[in-house]
A and B are shown apart, each in its own frame.
Chain A
Amino acid sequence: MDTLPTNIPLSTINIGSICQIVSLNLQGLLRRRILDLGMVPGTSVQCIRKSPAGDPIAYLVRDTLIALRNEDARQITVTLL
Chain B
Amino acid sequence: MSAIVKPMITLKEICTEAETIRLTNQNSLGDKIVSDIYVNAEIIASLAVTRKISEKPSLDSRLDDILTSRLFGFPIMLLLLSTVFWLTITGANIPSEMIGNALFAFQDQLVLWFNLAGAPDWLTGVLVLGMYRSLAWVVAVMLPPMAIFFPLFTLLEDLGYLPRIAFNLDNMFKKCQACGKQILTMCMGFGCNAAGIVACRIIDSPRERLIAVLTNNFVPCNGRFPTLIAIATIFMGGIVASEYQTAIASLVITILVMLGIAITFAVSWALSHTILKGETSSLVLELPPYRKPQIGAIIYRSIIDRTIFVLKRAMIMAAPAGAITWILANVYIGELSMIAHLAAWLQPLGYAIGLDGFILLAFILGLPANEIVVPILLMSYLSSGQILEVDSLNQLREILISQGWTWLTAVCTLLFCLLHWPCTTTLLSAYKETGSKKWTLLTFLIPTVIGFAVCFTVAQSARLLGLV
Asked whether the complex places CB atoms of A and B closer than 8 A, the reply is: yes
Residues from chain B with a CB closer than 8 A to the CB of A64 are 286
A54 B171 Cβ-Cβ under 8 A: yes
How far is B284's CA from A38's CA once the two chains are assembled, in angstroms? Answer: 12
Given contacts A52-B168, A69-B170, contact A41 B283 (CB under 8 A): no
Residues from chain B with a CB closer than 8 A to the CB of A29 are 204-205
A67 B285 Cβ-Cβ under 8 A: yes
A56 B283 Cβ-Cβ under 8 A: yes
B284 A34 Cβ-Cβ under 8 A: yes
Residues from chain A with a CB closer than 8 A to the CB of B174 are 55, 69
Instruction: Tell me the number of A-to-B contacts counted with CB atoms below 8 Å.
Output: 83
How far is B464's CA from A36's CA once the two chains are assembled, in angstroms? Answer: 61
B461 → chain A closest CB, angstroms: 35
Given contacts A68-B283, A69-B283, contact A56 B38 (CB under 8 A): no
Contact indicator per residue, chain A 17-57, by CB within 8 Å of chain B (1) or not (0): 00000000000111011111110111100001101111110
A67 B287 Cβ-Cβ under 8 A: yes
B158 within 8 A of A: no
Contact indicator per residue, chain B 57-72, by CB within 8 Å of chain A (1) or not (0): 0000100110011100
Given contacts A55-B171, A65-B286, 17 further A-B contacts (CB under 8 A): A29-B204, A35-B35, A37-B284, A38-B38, A43-B38, A48-B61, A51-B167, A51-B171, A53-B172, A54-B171, A58-B64, A64-B286, A66-B284, A67-B170, A69-B170, A69-B283, A72-B282
Top 3 closest pairs, chain A to chain B, by CB = A53-B171, A65-B287, A67-B285
How far is B204's CA from A48's CA once the two chains are assembled, in angstroms? Answer: 24
B34 within 8 A of A: yes
B391 within 8 A of A: no
How far is B70's CA from A34's CA once the two chains are assembled, in angstroms? Answer: 27
B38 A49 Cβ-Cβ under 8 A: no
Interface residues of B in 43-86 (CB under 8 A from A): 61, 64-65, 68-70, 73-74
B394 → chain A closest CB, angstroms: 45
How far is B282's CA from A32's CA once the two chains are assembled, in angstroms? Answer: 12
How far is B286's CA from A71's CA once the two chains are assembled, in angstroms? Answer: 17
User: Can you list 23 residue pairs at the A/B interface with Cβ under 8 Å?
Assistant: A28-B279, A30-B282, A33-B204, A35-B34, A35-B35, A40-B31, A48-B61, A49-B68, A51-B167, A51-B170, A51-B171, A52-B70, A54-B171, A56-B167, A56-B285, A65-B287, A66-B287, A67-B163, A68-B283, A68-B284, A69-B283, A71-B280, A72-B284
Kindly report which residue of chain A lies nearest to residue B280, judged by CB atoms: A71
Given contacts A49-B64, A52-B70, A69-B283, contact A35 B171 (CB under 8 A): no
How far is B65's CA from A56's CA once the two chains are assembled, in angstroms? Answer: 15
Residues of B at under 8 Å CB distance from A? 30-31, 34-35, 38, 61, 64-65, 68-70, 73-74, 163, 167-168, 170-172, 174, 180, 204-205, 279-280, 282-288
Residues from chain B with a CB closer than 8 A to the CB of A67 are 163, 167, 170, 283-287
Chain A CB count within 10 A is highest, among B35, B171, B284, B288, for: B284
Residues of A at under 8 Å CB distance from B? 28-30, 32-38, 40-43, 48-49, 51-56, 58, 64-69, 71-72
How far is B200's CA from A39's CA once the two chains are assembled, in angstroms? Answer: 26
Residues from chain A with a CB closer than 8 A to the CB of B288 are 65
How far is B285's CA from A48's CA once the two chains are assembled, in angstroms? Answer: 14
Cβ 8 A contact of B284, one of A30, A53, A54, A71: A30
Residues from chain A with a CB closer than 8 A to the CB of B205 are 29
A69 B282 Cβ-Cβ under 8 A: yes
A58 B204 Cβ-Cβ under 8 A: no
B29 → chain A closest CB, angstroms: 13
B68 A52 Cβ-Cβ under 8 A: yes
Residues from chain A with a CB closer than 8 A to the CB of B283 are 56, 67-69, 72
A31 → chain B closest CB, angstroms: 8
Residues from chain B with a CB closer than 8 A to the CB of A42 are 35
How far is B34's CA from A35's CA once the two chains are assembled, in angstroms? Answer: 7
How far is B65's CA from A78's CA once the two chains are assembled, in angstroms? Answer: 25
B285 A36 Cβ-Cβ under 8 A: no
Given contacts A58-B287, A68-B284, contact A51 B31 (CB under 8 A): no
Residues from chain A with a CB closer than 8 A to the CB of B64 are 49, 58
How far is B73's CA from A52's CA once the two chains are assembled, in angstroms? Answer: 7
B34 A58 Cβ-Cβ under 8 A: no
B285 A40 Cβ-Cβ under 8 A: no
How far is B280's CA from A68's CA once the two chains are assembled, in angstroms? Answer: 14
B38 A40 Cβ-Cβ under 8 A: yes
Residues from chain A with a CB closer than 8 A to the CB of B282 are 30, 69, 72
A81 → chain B closest CB, angstroms: 16
How far is B168's CA from A54's CA once the two chains are assembled, in angstroms? Answer: 9
B286 A41 Cβ-Cβ under 8 A: no
How far is B34's CA from A57's CA once the two chains are assembled, in angstroms? Answer: 24
How far is B282's CA from A30's CA once the two chains are assembled, in angstroms? Answer: 7
